[in-house]
Amino acid sequence: MQRACAAALLRKGITIIHNPGHSNDDQAAIGVITALGAKLEMQADGTLRVTSNGVQPVKDEVNCGESGLGIRMFTPIISLADRTIAINGTGSLTTRPMDFFDTVLPQLSVEIQSNKGKLPLIIKGPLKPASITVDGSLSSQFLTGLLMSYAAAGAADVALTVTDLKSKPYIDLTLKVMEDFGWKVENRNYESFYFPANASTPKNGELEYTVEGDWSGAAFLLVAGAIAGDITVKGLDVFSTQADREVLQALMSSGAKISVQTDKIEIGPAPLKAFHFNATECPDLFPPLVALAAYCDGKSVIEGAKRLTHKESNRALTLQEEFGKLGVQIDLQDDLMIIHGGKGLKGATTYSHHDHRIAMACAVAGLKASSVVTIESADAINKSYPDFYAHLQQLGATVSLQ
């Protein structure tokens, strides 16, 4: 949804977005593109109509809310404007590192001031695409913004070279959205991304785009089904480029009863066994997979824990702390997270740390706990999946919101 909002802003004309999201992150993206000149109308049929003439800011400050993708994707896009704009955020976003831009944007003729590598950012463009090398190890989200801004700026015969790119599937998703909107980029084995001089550009007029079902949110439902099902989940593209589709592999490895069909996934409980899973390319799966591992007999190992440091919380330590309250031992060894499962979970009062995925993980873990699990700051789910508790209730779980 956030990528679709960005693409609809950059594409000149009318874009009809089907299945638009309404989470806090989605609302932040809508706020950003409105501040950058797009005109939005929610239609009676639930679609979102976006009319844009490119980046034409109507405000001097843009707020990305608490969206990590939003700030990293939209900053290069905002840099296309030839005026000074302040970029800000809220909550944990104000403490997350943004010094990537201090290094990269000046190479693209953009003036930038940051608060010692943190928000707020003060930038002045316009961004001028150039062949540069960027570090892809911290997050692929920075690259997403550069790819989209290069395309919109009409980059020709230039290449973005990337070292140590993490989370390649998220770049696949970005490239797919760009292609759907009419931009073509050559992916040269994820080592460089080339913009040919004769590349096609989006046609003016009206374009329709449908936002995919979200595998990141659905991962929690699927794990809930494996722990306490049987349930059926619809609306997911099993051929999606989304990284978190890999949750299916972990569920299969754990021995969950699962049937994957084109239009639905049926999943239910079975004797669950410990599993080994590499989440380096899909670090957002750590929270649901920890909840799954808690119910698997034996020690499950998840690789990629180093990717968790700069999330809404330091998720490795947060998961260790909160699941410890539920009676689950988690060991952290370098890049590995080891979860001692299968011993039953007890009720406790947990704390989301204002992290949406931690709140959902604790809720799913509580489905088969011996007594009530309470989650403090439970409204953190509104960041990405505001309907989550309602969906758990729909599936028969007892959820009381206070």
Supply the residues annotated as catalytic: 284
Reduced 3-state DSSP string for 258-287: EEECCCEEEEECCCCECCEEECCCCHHHHH
Structure tokens, 106: 């000046």
- Cβ distance 8 to 33 under 8 Å? yes
What burial class does residue 26 get, using C-beta atoms within 10 Å of its C-beta: 0-12 exposed, 13-18 middle, 19+ buried?
Answer: buried
Please give the biggest Cα pair distance in the chain: 63
Reduced 3-state DSSP string for 327-346: CCEEEEECCEEEEEECCCCC
Q: What order do you get walking across the sheet with 298-303 strand by strand?
A: 276-278, 298-303, 336-341, 329-333
DSSP code at position 297 = B
The DSSP secondary structure of 108-137, one letter per residue, reads GT-EEEEETTEEEEEEE-------EEEE-S
Sign of CA dihedral 238, 143, 20, 205: negative
Distance CA 73, CA 35 (A): 15
DSSP code at position 81 = S
Structure tokens, 378: 């439970």
User: Which region, left, alpha or beta, applies to residue 325 given φ > 0 means left and ψ of -120 to 50 means alpha?
Assistant: alpha
The DSSP secondary structure of 199-226, one letter per residue, reads ---PPSSEEEEEPPP-HHHHHHHHHHHH
- Cβ distance 300 to 328 under 8 Å? no
Give which of 54, 49, 43 is closest to 14, Cα–Cα. 49
Distance CA 47, CA 235 (A): 16
